[in-house]
Amino acid sequence: MKRPVIITISHSLGRDAARRQLQGGVGKVRDKLGGFGMQLVDETWQGDTLQFGVAALGQTVSGKIEVEDALVRVEVMLPLLLAVFAEKLKLGVEKQGQILLEHKPTKA
């Protein structure tokens, strides 16, 4: 049985810009995961939704990220064995999401 963890992150970029920043930031996330002994094993964009899988502690965690006009919704399905990490996961995803979705003014 799996437990869903849902995180929403507000942004002011608009849907297209937010999706582009998330797509561009996946490499950074992959590098950070490696530092924690985790590996991104699946990454598939379909429109404004990213389906992903992460391998950690012999378990596979699946989830999706849905980009909307003013927020990003992250849903992670945690196996019961990893459910004890739900709050830490939530805080980490919120922090990294805010960093990735930070408005960066373009240079003139």
- Is position 82 within any domain? yes
Coil, strand or helix at 72: strand
Residue 41 forms part of a structural domain: yes
Rounded CA-CA distance 92/56 in Å is 15
Cα gap 42→55, rounded to integer Å: 9
Cβ proximity of 54 and 40 under 8 Å: yes
Total of domains in the chain: 1
Arithmetic mean of pLDDT over the chain: 86
The pLDDT > 70 percentage for the chain reads 94
Q: Per the domain annotation, does 108 fall within a domain?
A: no
Owning domain of residue 47: 2-100
Q: What is the pTM of this model?
A: 0.82
Label residues 32-41 b or e (16+ Cβ within 10 Å = b): eeeeeeeebe
Q: Choose between 35 and 71: higher pLDDT.
A: 71
